[in-house]
Amino acid sequence: MDIWSVIILSVVEGLTEFLPISSTGHLMVTAKILNLPSSDFLSSFNIFIQLGAILAVGVLYFNKIIKNLNLVPKVGVAFVPTAIIGFFLYPLIKNFLLESLTVVAISLFIGGVILIIFEKWYQKRGLVNMAEAELDKISYKQAFLIGLAQTLAVIPGTSRSGATILGGLALGLSRATIVEFSFLLALPTMAAASGYDLLKSGVSFSEANILWLGLGFVLSFVFSIISVRWLVRFIKQHNFIWFGWYRIALALVIFSFLI
């Protein structure tokens, strides 16, 4: 890896991690475009820079978490299903799913179609104007069901945020509420996934590798803050249909590479 590869991958991670378009899928596609061969360090790098995205959410939502400590156990309840699924399916996820662009393309396409159809249904039923639940009013049952939806994100290309957002909308939560809960749920989910994978990989890093990891961490942190703030503003006036079309377009581009 060179410095430009580090910068590009880190920026892609920061901008896509919290959008419903699959950061993992984007990283896999970006690595392919950059002609980066699969390696233990590349895998560990892609995992490590997620920690920058985690820190971004921690910084942005620190005050809200402190003022609403009742959110902590609810986020914990939502995290449990993914923790169980991720632990038992780790070999399958690591050795097959994360190596397949075909899986990414199919997941992006199906997820995009579902996102568009669901948003149309959401608007048709008049749910846009329903009473909005505040973030701290989410029940333990709703939290658990959102966590179940998040388990779908073990499939690359599905998108962790996309799965949780659809789960929350299906429960009648407002877009703003589920987006913010998705941010908070990312904290334990991504921290556990990153920590477990780095522990399992047991990769030793050279001084140059450590420099790349540090740069990637900082860039991911900065661009994650930009992305989170933008998404919070965006969903106040827009829906997720554009993300659905973007997913479909990206899936078709990937399919064209694979043919």
CA angle 60, 7, 240 (to 5 degrees): 50
Has residue 167 got a pLDDT over 50? yes
Question: Does 124 or 242 have the greater pLDDT score?
Answer: 242
| CA count, 13 A, side-chain hemisphere, 212 | 20
Helix (H) or strand (E) run with residue 216 in it: helix 207-234
In this prediction, residue 201 carries a pLDDT of: 65
Confidence of residue 78 (pLDDT cuts 50, 70, 90): very high
In this prediction, residue 132 carries a pLDDT of: 46
Number of domains composing the chain: 1
Q: Please give the structure tokens belonging to residue 19.
A: 């959008």
Q: By C-alpha distance, which of 256, 257, 247 is closest to 19?
A: 247
Confidence of residue 202 (pLDDT cuts 50, 70, 90): low
Mean pLDDT of the chain: 86
Confidence of residue 175 (pLDDT cuts 50, 70, 90): confident
In this prediction, residue 80 carries a pLDDT of: 95
Judge contact between 14 and 3, C-beta under 8 A. Answer: no
Q: Residue 236 belongs to what domain range?
A: 3-258
In this prediction, residue 242 carries a pLDDT of: 93
Euclidean distance between CA atoms 158 and 10, whole angstroms: 20
Has residue 17 got a pLDDT over 50? yes
Tens-digit pLDDT profile for residues 108-164: 999 999 999 888 877 776 555 444 457 878 999 999 999 999 999 888 888 999 999
Confidence of residue 210 (pLDDT cuts 50, 70, 90): confident
Euclidean distance between CA atoms 162 and 182, whole angstroms: 9
Euclidean distance between CA atoms 159 and 162, whole angstroms: 5
Judge contact between 62 and 228, C-beta under 8 A. Answer: no
Confidence of residue 220 (pLDDT cuts 50, 70, 90): very high
Helix (H) or strand (E) run with residue 80 in it: helix 71-88
In this prediction, residue 203 carries a pLDDT of: 61
Euclidean distance between CA atoms 224 and 231, whole angstroms: 10
Tens-digit pLDDT profile for residues 83-103: 898 777 767 766 666 678 888
In this prediction, residue 62 carries a pLDDT of: 92
| Whole-structure pTM value | 0.87
Which residues, at least 6 apart from 214, have a Cβ–Cβ distance to it below 8 Å?
A: none
Euclidean distance between CA atoms 101 and 255, whole angstroms: 9
In this prediction, residue 131 carries a pLDDT of: 42
In this prediction, residue 130 carries a pLDDT of: 44
Confidence of residue 245 (pLDDT cuts 50, 70, 90): very high
Euclidean distance between CA atoms 231 and 236, whole angstroms: 9
What percent of the chain stands above pLDDT 90? 47
What would the mean pLDDT of 47-75 be, rounded to a whole number?
Answer: 90
